[in-house]
Amino acid sequence: MRTGAETGYRAAGSLSVHGITYPVYMESSNQFRSFALAAAPLAAAVANYCDHVEHNEVAAGDDVLRAGEGLRLLALELAAEAKRDLIHLYAERLGAIEARNVVARPGGFDGHAAALSAETWRDLQLVQVEHDRYYHPDVVGLAKVEQLRHYALHLAKIVGAFAGSADHDELINRRLPDTLLFAIKLPTVMGKRLGDESLPRQTRESAAPVASRS
């Protein structure tokens, strides 16, 4: 079997499934579609878990956790390839979501500023939790399996966007941070705390509120 280098693919990292470690490859010649190919089985693992639970069949929660880890790894790799700070993209995305939400108001929770101030993955997980509690009570109020099914739908949309869209700005500024967003949500809904490892930052951005930025 040919290696990733021999086929024009580069390793973005590795993913362990049932004790076996697989390399996660992204093709340098077509990053977005390669991202979709790499993310598809991870998104499918979440949908598969939901399907098993719905049929009262044995379901491995670790598969969902591994999907979250794999999606986070892929998002970080693509952001590095694009020479963009993924945490900053994520903060901007939270700010845009909050700015158009019906409950947005002066003095409300500012996910943009909170994300830029986060130092660790655990910090960022808590930022996402607060964002969801404040701006998405409809989803937070669902049973956890229903929340997970909702996330599976979003992940399918993300994979489809990377597979078919030619809009570079849309993919980098919206779909890429959305990938990280759901990669953070998956361990949360499964009851797992993220670690205290420092966030990878290319630059330290200003934490100005969204409304004040041009």
Q: What average pLDDT does range 112-138 have in this prediction?
A: 98
Between 203 and 4, name the one with better pLDDT: 203
Task: Please give, one letter per residue, the 3-state secondary structure of the chain.
Answer: CCCCHHHCEEEEEEEEECCEEEEEEEECCCHHHHHHHHHHHHHHHHHHHHHHHHCCCCCCHHHHHHHHHHHHHHHHHHHHHCCCCHHHHHHHHHHHHHHCCCCCCCCCCCHHHHHHHCCEHHHHHHHHHHHHHHHCHHHHCCCHHHHHHHHHHHHHHHHHHHHHCCCHHHHHHHHHHHHHHHHHHHHHHCCCCCCCCECCCCCCCCCCCHHHCC
pLDDT recorded at residue 210: 46
pLDDT at 54 over 90: yes
Between 55 and 18, name the one with better pLDDT: 55
Quick one: which of 57, 22, 28, 27 has its CA closest to 42? Answer: 22
Q: What angle do CA 67, 152, 82 make, to 5 degrees?
A: 60
pLDDT recorded at residue 30: 85
Model confidence over 16-30: pLDDT tens digits?
Answer: 554 555 555 555 448
pLDDT at 122 over 60: yes
- Residue 5's pLDDT band (cuts 50, 70, 90): very low
pLDDT recorded at residue 207: 43
Between 7 and 172, name the one with better pLDDT: 172
pLDDT above 70: percentage of residues in the chain:
81
- Residue 203's pLDDT band (cuts 50, 70, 90): low
Question: What does the mean pLDDT of the chain come to?
Answer: 87
pLDDT recorded at residue 4: 43
pLDDT at 59 over 50: yes
- Residue 135's pLDDT band (cuts 50, 70, 90): very high
